[in-house]
């Protein structure tokens, strides 16, 4: 019997799970970025007519799920499960979205790796036969993240060159159990370990998260025996410019050269001229880039397969103030086109 687990950490989905629908919503800054035209909906401004940033983020998450459902003419009740997470305390955006749609709900938190965590778990649910249709969503919002994790939004601080810009964006995905005729299939996943190499600077998350990403990437290659060349694209969630380079070096030290086909969602989403310093970050970064930019390319056949590694920094403002270092995690998912 073929095993559903390969090596130490890799999950092999024997009944390939397909992504049948997806949608992305981003804020105006992301809309002006290089990928601007590929998103489903661009907010007019970061408040979008709501009374608070938090409300806007919640609506954004809810609407991206509504879009993904509406594209296939599904209703929320057609979902067996809804898995979602975000960056706010007690993942309120996801909880309130689940309240609005009334679907069996599992709230998940993996900081900015939440989306990939959701995709891995959702695929496990479907592959295991516990359901046939699962909704996954995650979001982040620049202002809500700033005021919660750093400073009040209007405070005139000079951002360090290593700081990343939290993406205002959300993405939603509908996973389904129909291996026949699906354009996009999830074939493998990998659940990462929490790695902490002692970085404590909350203004340099890329450097903190790079070891976790590198660990997951090398572990995947070790587990499966595949090589970096087997993928059209290896892409991390939100390491940004600095973390991207570090991750590439760390993976190279382990004996795998990913320099030819490696990129990062946080690097792609903004133009250097947008003054975001080290690039984008946040749950919404990989969530919107995957739905807006990567999956359409898989459907068109421009990319045959990708290895997406979601990276998350698992810190809280309290733990940072108490002098703790930043534990980081990275989960991976292999997405393949059917062309």
Partner 1 sequence: MDLKEINMRVQERQRDLLQIKNFNDAEIQLINEELQKDYQKLVLFESKANDKEVRLTIKNLRNKVIEQQDLVKKYLQIRYARLVNKSAPKIPVLKNALAAFFVGGTICVIGQIILNVIVLNGVPNKEATAITLMVMVFISALLTGLGIYDEIGRFGGAGSMVPITGFANSIVSPALEYKREGYVYGIGAKVFTIAGPVLLYGSLISVIIGLTFYIIK
- The answer to whether the CB of 115 falls within 8 A of the CB of 138 is yes
Q: What is the DSSP string of 255-299?
A: T---TTSEEEHHHHSS-GGG--TT-EESHHHHHHHIIIIIHHHHH
Nearer to partner 1, 95 or 274 (CB): 95
Q: What is the DSSP string of 210-248?
A: HHHHHHHHHHHHHHH---GGG-SEEEESS-HHHHHHHHH
Count, residues near partner 1 per rule CB under 8 A: 20
Contact call for residues 98 and 84 (beta carbons, < 8 A): yes
Alpha-carbon distance 17 to 175, whole Å? Answer: 7
**Is the separation of the CB atoms in 296 and 183 below 8 Å?**
no
Measured CA to CA, the distance from residue 172 to residue 104 in angstroms comes to 16
> Binding of partner 1 at residue 318 (CB under 8 A)?
yes
Contact flag: residue 157 with partner 1 (CB under 8 A): no
Q: Given candidates 37, 49, 151, 300, which one binds partner 1 under the rule CB under 8 A?
A: 49
Which is closer to partner 1, CB of 70 or CB of 157?
A: 70
Interface with partner 1, residue 55, by CB under 8 A: no
* Part in contact with partner 1 (CB under 8 A); list of ranges 188-196, 251-259, 294-302, 319-327: 319-327
Q: Report the interhelical angle of 205-224 vs 240-253 (nearest 10°).
A: 40
**Between 187 and 201, CB nearer to partner 1:** 201
Backbone CA torsion sign across 124, 107, 173, 242: negative
Determine, following the binding rule CB under 8 A, whether residue 71 of this chain makes contact with partner 1.
yes
Selected from 6, 47, 76, 92, the binder of partner 1 by CB under 8 A is 76
DSSP 3-state assignment of 105? strand
The alpha-carbon radius of gyration of the chain (Å, integer) is 18
Q: How far is the CB of 318 from partner 1 (least distance, A)?
A: 6
Residue 179, C-beta contacts closer than 8 angstroms, at least 6 positions apart = 15, 16, 18, 185
Residue 144 belongs to what H/E stretch?
helix 142-149
Distances (CA, A) of 1 to 4, 5, 14, 69, 185: 9, 12, 11, 36, 22
CB of 8 to partner 1, least distance (A): 37
Applying CB under 8 A, does 321 fall inside the site for partner 1? Answer: yes
Binding mask 271-310 for partner 1 (x = CB under 8 A): ----------------------------------------
- Decide if residue 41 touches partner 1 (CB under 8 A): yes
Residue 40 near partner 1 by CB under 8 A? yes
Least Å distance, CB 322 to partner 1, is 6
Q: Return the residue of 5, 14, 75, 302 that touches partner 1, per CB under 8 A.
A: 75
Instruction: Name which of 2 and 318 has its Cβ closer to partner 1.
Output: 318
Q: How far is the CB of 59 from partner 1 (least distance, A)?
A: 10
Site for partner 1 in 83-142 (CB under 8 A): 101-102
For residue 197, the minimal CB distance to partner 1 (Å) is: 23
Give 63 or 331: the residue with its C-beta nearer to partner 1.
Answer: 63
Give contact residues for partner 1 (rule: CB under 8 A).
23, 25, 40-41, 49, 63, 66-67, 69-71, 75-77, 101-102, 318, 321-323
């Amino acid at each position: 019997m073929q095993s559903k687990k390969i090596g130490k950490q890799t999950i092999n989905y024997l009944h390939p799970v397909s992504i049948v629908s997806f949608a992305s919503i981003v804020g105006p800054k992301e809309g002006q970025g290089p990928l601007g035209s590929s998103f489903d909906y661009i907010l007019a401004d970061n408040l979008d007519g709501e009374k608070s940033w938090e409300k806007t983020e919640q609506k954004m998450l809810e609407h991206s799920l509504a879009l993904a459902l509406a594209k296939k003419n599904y209703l929320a009740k057609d979902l067996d499960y809804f898995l979602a997470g975000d960056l706010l305390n007690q993942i309120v955006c996801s909880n309130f979205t689940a309240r609005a749609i009334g679907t069996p709900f599992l709230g998940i938190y993996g900081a900015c790796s939440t989306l990939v965590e959701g995709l891995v778990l959702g695929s496990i649910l479907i592959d295991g036969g516990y359901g046939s249709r699962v909704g996954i969503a995650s979001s982040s919002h620049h202002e809500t993240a700033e005021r919660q994790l750093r400073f009040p939004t209007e405070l005139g601080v000079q951002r360090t060159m290593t700081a990343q810009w939290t993406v205002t964006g959300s993405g939603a995905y509908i996973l389904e159990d129909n291996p026949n005729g699906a354009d996009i299939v999830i074939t493998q996943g990998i659940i990462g370990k929490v790695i902490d190499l002692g970085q404590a600077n909350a203004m340099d998350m890329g450097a903190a998260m790079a070891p976790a990403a590198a660990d997951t990437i090398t572990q995947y290659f070790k587990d499966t025996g595949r090589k970096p060349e087997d993928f059209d694209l290896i892409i991390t969630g939100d390491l940004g410019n600095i973390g991207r380079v570090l991750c590439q070096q760390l993976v190279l030290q382990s004996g795998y050269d990913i320099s030819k086909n490696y990129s990062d969602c946080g690097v792609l989403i903004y133009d250097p001229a947008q003054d975001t310093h080290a690039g984008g970050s946040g749950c919404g970064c990989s969530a919107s880039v995957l739905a807006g930019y990567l999956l359409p390319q898989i459907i068109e056949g421009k990319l045959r397969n990708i290895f997406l590694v979601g990276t998350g920094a698992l810190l809280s403002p309290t733990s940072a103030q108490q002098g703790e270092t930043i534990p980081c995690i990275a989960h991976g998912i292999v997405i393949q086109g059917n062309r």
